[in-house]
Chain A
Amino acid sequence: GAVVSQHPSRVICKSGTSVKIECRSLDFQATTMFWYRQFPKKSLMLMATSNEGSKATYEQGVEKDKFLINHASLTLSTLTVTSAHPEDSSFYICSARDGGGSYEQYFGPGTRLTVT
């Protein structure tokens, strides 16, 4: 089946630094990618929808200047957490929709961010 990878799988950073998380679709073209955030023992919350070649669509309450999303190619989207703070510590999961029209949505393995 289709595979979505995320890198890194875990990252620890200091408060005030920025962290970039990559999401790649490995064997299909993803015109749309989604970024979710999951707090411990909570559900996945959609942060933004990333469209290749255009600006991301952010959900209400998500700061676009805080969470920069770039979808530069049909197989890569990046999420940059800028000036990270401890409250940004979370599990970030990306998802890619197969551009072939199947509407299948494939999820990456997630990135656990810890801000100290």
Chain B
Amino acid sequence: AQKVTQAQTEISVVEKEDVTLDCVYETRDTTYYLFWYKQPPSGELVFLIRRNSFDEQNEISGRYSWNFQKSTSSFNFTITASQVVDSAVYFCALSEPRNTGGFKTIFGAGTRLFVKA
């Protein structure tokens, strides 16, 4: 069964602090994809990253970095030197093959990040 757990409901930090958003997933498949999306107040989902299950390399993109650990089924997201514009809801998502073909993507509950000036 698929499951994505984002245990942190809300996080509040002061600008310039680093913050890590946790994501733990469950899947029985060996082939799957993990994603992070940002949802600002406007509601539109902004794609941040996709990782396939065979690529455990960590990734850095500017102030964003991701730590994929298959051993602990975690895909954590760190924002370095946070800024007010980072305030949003962040979703972790898992996509795995369906028995009937294609893929199904489910989302974690989301973590609401507040960055205060």
Q: Are A and B genuine complex partners?
A: yes
Chain A residues engaging chain B, CB cutoff 8 angstroms: 32, 34, 36, 41-46, 49, 51, 57, 91, 93, 95, 97, 103-107, 109-110, 112
Docked CA distance A57–B101 (Å): 11
Enumerate 23 A-B pairs (CB-CB under 8 Å) in ascending A order: A36-B107, A41-B112, A42-B110, A43-B109, A43-B110, A45-B107, A49-B102, A51-B102, A91-B43, A93-B43, A93-B45, A97-B102, A97-B103, A103-B95, A104-B50, A107-B37, A107-B44, A107-B47, A109-B42, A109-B44, A110-B43, A110-B45, A112-B43
Q: Is the CB of B45 within 8 A of A46?
A: no
Asked if B70 is at the interface of the complex by the 8 Å CB criterion, the answer is no
Contacts of B110 in A (CB 8 A): 42-43
Q: Is the CB of A46 within 8 A of B104?
A: yes
- State the majority secondary structure of interface residues on B: strand
Given contacts A43-B91, A43-B110, A57-B100, contact A105 B43 (CB under 8 A): no
Docked CA distance A46–B42 (Å): 20
Q: How many residues on B have C-beta within 8 angstroms of the other chain's C-beta atoms?
A: 22
Given contacts A42-B109, A43-B110, contact A49 B45 (CB under 8 A): no
Q: Is the CB of A43 within 8 A of B47?
A: no
Chain B residues engaging chain A, CB cutoff 8 angstroms: 33, 35, 37, 42-45, 47, 50, 91, 95, 100, 102-110, 112
Docked CA distance A52–B25 (Å): 30
Docked CA distance A90–B70 (Å): 35
Determine how close the nearest CB of chain B comes to the CB of A4; give it in whole angstroms. Answer: 10
Determine how close the nearest CB of chain B comes to the CB of A111; give it in whole angstroms. Answer: 9
